[in-house]
Amino acid sequence: MRFAAAVGLFVALSWAGLWAVMPPPARPFVLFLFIALAAYAGAPLLRLRGPGRRAILRRLDRVSGLPHRPASALDDELGTRREDPVSRALWDAHRARLLAETRDIAVGLPSPRLVEHDRFALRALVLLLVIATWFMAEGERTKRVLLAFDWTGPAAPAPYRIDAWVTPPAYTGRPPLLLSGVRSGEPVAEGRHAGPIDVPAGSVVTIRATGLSTLALRMRGSGFAEVAPDGAAPPAGTTERRLKITASGQLALHDVGDADLVWSFNAVPDRAPTIAMTRTPQTVGRNALSLAYRLEDDYGVVSAEAGFRLKEPAPGARPLYELPPLPLALPQARTRSGNGETVKDLTDHPFAGAKVQLALKARDDAGNEGVSETADLTLPQRAFTNPLARALVEQRRMLALDAGCRLHVERALDALAIGPERFTPDTAIYLGLRTAYWRLAAARDDDGLREAADYLWQIAVRIEDGEMADAERELRAAEDALRQALERGVGEDELKQLTDNLRQALDRFMRELAEEMRRNPNRQAENRPLDRNTRVLRPQDLQAMIDRLENLARSGSRDAAQRMLDELQAMLDSLDRSRSGNMAEGDGDAIDRLGDMIRNQQQLRDRTWREGREQRDRQRRGEGNRSPSEPGQPFGELQQGQEEVRRQLDGLLDQLNKMRRDQGDGEGGEGDGEQAFGRARDAMREAERQLGAGNADGAVGSQGRAIENLRRGAQAMARGQPGSGRPNPDGSGQSSETDTDPLGRPRSAGRDLDNDSRDFVPDAVDAQRARRVLEELRRRLGDAERPQIELDYLERLLKGF
């Protein structure tokens, strides 16, 4: 026991750090004392002998308390040597009685009589010291014991440093947050991280130590979970731990400096996105469904869709189709707050013309989903002028809404084939009707019925459009493929292939359009004659628009490219086939003037921002202080330029009103486009007043609103409508985005119409590249072999993050 106490005392003092505070030359002497103490305490062990058999039996007799010493009596022998049967029988009976008594004999507890040797119970004190120092030396127990045999090394511990940072989830768009660390010999101030740090839920805190083999990290709360490294291994000579923050809690790092290093975190949960319709669904262009909506999310919406379901299905009906979810276009990638619009042609769906219920859904990166209120609407349907095509579409809808109408549709198709010489003289159409009938009659399941219904639609479109149907379908498919590619962010090779496909489809569509008008010259005469000032929309103009769209997409302006694709689709929808591709003189000329006006307004806004910035710089330097009596003197030229742009807009509006009166449209209520032009004019007047008062910042905001409303009015004119610009829910008509870009420069609301501005900022920042740069800086900072001046410089760089 004394030897165990001596060894325990040596271990306890070693774990307590005795050898770390002792000079190396003194360690062998103290170690010799411990060895001598252990030898003295263990010397009695050399004289230790085991007890003999007789001593063991005597102890059993003493502990059991049985009379007549039964354990020792088992070793007795019969005293007489003569074989006396009576004596032998008596002796055997005696031994049997002894064995019976000793069957349940108690061994008793050991009695080492430690009290006689340790009257002050010092052995308990040594045991307590061992237990206490076990927790004190967590992670360094072996190292502290072996330090007793290190008589030449330095007494001070090796230098170390600890760095920590928090990496939010990538979808939040937030930069990593650098936490305060500690170096060897650097004091840790009490309460250094008393306040909690707000971080997004799901963030990963990384703690990296250089010069330490382990990290004594303790978690308070259940909001932390260990995660494995997702990239390259940490640099050599470093120890790293990564924890995901799922709920609020606290991390404490022990055995560093003069106090624990503590970080408190407040996990901010990711809210579900919200989506709401800003107006009722409308029909635009060639019976396309237009959905306008507003999205909001704390970190950005990544996808949205519209879900449909039949409002009043017939009792017992078995529909053949389902309305698939309609993907919604986002105002920009990862939209945090903004208005969006999606135009989708659903006229080819079998449910076109049916009453449905609509609900919009939005999702974020965390999987949260927001749902809008339900709206009732009738799906837009294509208007067929040919009676036979109209009848086929009606039968197709009946079959799609209820598979039980199969026999009725069969009889209708059979009836439509009666008298082909009078009603269907075209052999191809007659054969198509009979093929549709026999396909429907031979259908064995729902797939067969759906194939027959799709074939009915193809026949109806062919009857109505002739050869134009295939060209138009190919053009729509090319537009949809390019739009989806822009949303996915594909590479340049695939983007070039899709734009080439769109060019080819557009070229074929224009050729078929011209050929149709050549075959039907009488349709041209049915419309009012074109005057000599009519401006023709040439195929070259549309091809140039596609070239510009491709250049925008390659330069990174995917949002602007999507808006231009929408404009191209709107212009194609507004083409009146009866005019052989001609556009009215007012539309073409007005759009050209609007483009110049938007460009002038954008350049004026850029000048206002630059001169306002220069004036603020001069005022900070104490130069160029203007007189209070002349507040607008610095911006007099800009004010005149703004007045000139407003007069151009007034002239354009007067021209449009005159054209409308000449065409007999009267002076009815203003459309959305004219309202947008009116808001642009009001914003220009406000900018004039602000420039006169010397308020450059306010003028920049007003000019931005003017550009935004000019662009909306231009889009309305491109669609051949009075206007399609829509104000925000607050009625201001101002864009929901900020008026300046991340570099402090004014945003160009009409950049998609004016590409001459030099202040260009890509739509997105390469977040992955930024993370790689930060990781490289941290790796170099963790390299202890680098010069101290370089380490200090790297630390200053990281403090900004």
Residue-wise pLDDT for 210-256, tens only, equals 877 778 788 887 788 888 776 667 777 788 888 999 888 888 887 66
What is the band of 584 on the pLDDT scale with cuts at 50, 70, 90?
Answer: very low
Give the span between the Cα atoms of 752 and 627, in whole angstroms.
40
Q: How far apart are CA 450 and CA 161, in angstroms?
A: 70
- Residue carrying the six token digits 């949260």: 368
Give 161-268's CATH code, choosing from 1.10.3470, 2.80.10, 1.10.1760, 2.60.40: 2.60.40
- pLDDT for 575 equals 60
pLDDT of the residue at 486: 80
Pairing relationship of beta strands 355-364 and 288-310 according to DSSP bridges? antiparallel
When pLDDT is averaged across residues 650-663 and rounded to a whole number, the result is 73
**Continuous segment of H or E residues that includes residue 689:** helix 672-692
> Are 764 and 334 in contact, with CB atoms under 8 Å apart?
no
Handedness of CA 344, 347, 352, 353 (dihedral sign): positive
pLDDT greater than 90 at residue 647: no
Averaged pLDDT for residues 323-349: 86
Could you give the CA distance from residue 618 to residue 621 in angstroms, rounded to a whole number? 5
One-letter amino acid at 77 equals E
Burial (CB count within 10 angstroms: exposed 0-12, middle 13-18, buried 19+), residue 334: middle
**Could you report the per-residue pLDDT of 585-623, keeping only the tens digit for each?**
444 566 667 777 888 888 888 888 888 888 888 887 775
**All CATH 1.20.120 domain ranges in the chain, comma separated:** 584-622+631-718
Residue-wise pLDDT tens digits, 110-155:
666 666 666 666 677 878 888 888 888 777 888 888 888 877 755 4
pLDDT per position as a tens digit, 420-476 = 776 676 788 888 888 988 999 898 998 999 999 998 988 888 887 776 667 777 888
> 723 vs 281, 653, 671, 731, CA distance in Å?
16, 13, 6, 16
Pick the closest to residue 625 from 639, 635, 615 (CA basis): 615
Angle, helices 468-488/492-519, rounded to nearest 10 degrees: 160
pLDDT at 728 over 60: no
Which pLDDT band, with edges at 50, 70 and 90, does 277 fall under? very high
Q: What pTM was estimated for this model as a whole?
A: 0.47
CATH 1.20.120 is the classification of domain 584-622+631-718: yes
Enter the DSSP assignment of 737: S
Please, which contacts does 464-473 make with residues 24 or more away whose CB atoms are closer than 8 Å? 464/384, 464/385, 464/386, 464/389, 466/516, 467/512, 467/515, 467/516, 468/509, 468/512, 468/513, 468/516, 468/577, 471/505, 471/508, 471/509, 471/511, 471/512, 471/513, 472/509
CATH number (3.40.50.300, 2.60.40.10, 3.40.50.150, 3.40.50.720) of 278-378 reads: 2.60.40.10
Q: Please name which of 400, 283, 393 lies closest in space to residue 345, comparing C-alpha atoms.
A: 283
For residue 517, which of 455, 466, 564, 588 has the smallest C-alpha distance? 466
Lowest mean pLDDT among 113-122, 136-145, 350-359, 537-546: 113-122
Query: In one letter, which amino acid is 486?
Result: L
- Tell me the C-alpha distance between 472 and 494, whole Å: 22
385-405 confidence digits (pLDDT tens): 788 888 888 999 889 888 888
